[in-house]
Amino acid sequence: VEFLYCDLASMKSIRQFVQQFRAKNCPLHVLVNNAGVMLVPERKTEDGFEEHFGLNYLGHFLLTNLLLDVLKQSGTHSNNARIITVSSATHYVGKLHLNDLQSRCSYSPHGAYAQSKLALVLFTYQLQRLLTANGSHVTANVVDPGVVNTELYKHVFWVVKVVKWMTAWLCFKTPEEGASTSIYAAVSPEMEGAGGCYLYNEERTKSADIAYDEELQRRLWTESCKMVGISDAASRLP
As annotated, the active-site residues are: 113
Burial 4-41 (b: 16+ CB within 10 A, else e): eebbbbbbebbbebbeebeeeeeebbebbbeebbbbee
**Distances from the Cα of 28 to the Cα of 64, 73, 83, angstroms:** 11, 8, 10
Neighbouring residues of 28: CB distance < 8 A, sequence distance ≥ 6: 21, 67, 70, 71, 74, 81
* Whole-angstrom distance, CA of residue 183 vs CA of residue 176: 10
| Angle, CA 223 vertex, CA 82 and CA 31 arms, to 5° | 15
φ, ψ dihedrals at 237, nearest 5°: -60, 140
